[in-house]
């Protein structure tokens, strides 16, 4: 016991100050919330930015660019292909949305939606028990979600915890494009969660299918399968993006 206490004393306080006292420390190459400038787009270039997008996230609507943040994998190819600067990637990590249409960027300011349902605040505002379900993901979203359990992030200080059984959960956090082999398991897991409950679509695959959207063995994300309460874009979402979005979902921000 004394050795453990000595080790803790030497190590000191390791949990980061985000989000209460300081912004997150992001890598230099971090690609955050894209910014669309439709006034810079002539529409006559043949849209090479859309042609290079591997997930079909960027397209023209009435001659103007639209970026679907729910499909974007943040590869940056569109920004490099466009010589007019129509698409730029900012360093903003705050990208979670509670409505799917919010993820369609047409040049407007990105709204940071807050929890307006008083019942959600009352039930889950101080405690959120999560059962994570991987429906065929590559493992990246799962790993970055797991990071939030480490000492450096310690999401437990906000009452957010991972549980082993869906019967103990308030919320499902789903990753992956929902493969045919995982569909039944996902539906059974959701049915086992006591109601009312919440569903989080974590990452481009869970939101839209990502780069696997057109694959015949996937369902293209959660759309039409489960009701989604929070969409967290990214491939994978940065831990700061996910934590900040979950706190807004709980009504903590």
| Interval 204-248: pLDDT, tens | 999 999 999 999 999 999 999 999 999 999 999 999 999 999 999
Burial of 88 (0-12, 13-18, 19+ CB in 10 A): middle
Q: Are the C-beta atoms of residues 179 and 218 closer than 8 Å to each other?
A: yes
In a domain, 16, yes or no: no
Q: Is residue 205 a part of any domain in this protein?
A: yes
On whether residue 127 sits in a domain, the answer given is yes
Query: In this structure, is residue 18 part of a structural domain?
Result: no
- DSSP string for 170-215: SEEEEES--BHHHHHHHHHHHHHSPSS-EEEEESHHHHH-GGGTT-
* Prediction pTM value: 0.94
Q: What is the pLDDT of residue 47?
A: 64
Structure tokens at 98: 């509670």
Please give the residue range of the domain that contains residue 131: 118-250
Give the chain's largest Cα–Cα span.
Answer: 72
Q: Does a structural domain hold residue 51?
A: no
Is there a domain that residue 25 lies in? no
Residue 116 confidence (pLDDT): 92
Q: What is the pLDDT of residue 78?
A: 92
Residue 58 lies in a domain: no
Q: Is residue 218 part of a domain?
A: yes
Write the CATH number for 154: 3.40.50.12280
Number of domains forming the structure of the chain: 1
Question: What is the per-residue pLDDT for 5?
Answer: 81
Of 112, 93, 90, 88, which is closest to residue 102 (Cα–Cα)?
A: 112
Parts of the chain with a pLDDT under 70 = 43-47
Residue 44 confidence (pLDDT):
66
Q: How far is CA 45 from CA 16, 40, 58, 64, 77, in A?
A: 46, 12, 14, 12, 16
């Amino acid at each position: 016991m004394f050795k453990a206490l000595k080790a803790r004393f030497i190590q000191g306080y390791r949990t980061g100050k985000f989000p209460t006292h300081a912004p997150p420390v992001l890598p230099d190459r971090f690609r955050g919330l894209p910014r669309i400038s439709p006034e810079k787009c002539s529409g006559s270039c043949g849209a090479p930015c859309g042609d290079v997008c591997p997930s079909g996230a960027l397209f023209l609507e009435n001659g103007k660019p639209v970026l679907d943040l729910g499909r974007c994998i943040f590869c940056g190819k569109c920004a490099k292909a466009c010589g007019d600067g129509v698409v730029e990637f900012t360093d903003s990590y705050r990208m979670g949305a509670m409505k799917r249409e919010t993820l369609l960027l047409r040049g407007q300011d990105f709204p940071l939606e807050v929890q307006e349902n008083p019942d959600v605040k009352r039930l889950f505002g101080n405690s959120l028990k999560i059962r994570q379900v991987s429906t065929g993901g590559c493992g990246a979203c799962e790993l970055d979600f797991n990071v939030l359990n480490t000492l450096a992030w310690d999401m437990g200080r906000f009452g957010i915890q991972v549980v082993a059984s869906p019967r103990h959960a308030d919320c499902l956090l789903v990753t992956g494009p929902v493969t045919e082999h995982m569909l039944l398991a996902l539906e059974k897991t959701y049915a086992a969660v006591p109601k009312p409950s919440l569903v989080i679509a974590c990452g481009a695959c869970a939101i839209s299918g990502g780069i696997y959207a057109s694959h015949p063995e996937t369902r293209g994300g959660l759309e039409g399968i489960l009701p989604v309460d929070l969409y967290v874009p990214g491939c994978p979402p940065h831990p700061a993006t996910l934590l900040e979005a979950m706190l807004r979902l709980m009504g903590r921000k």
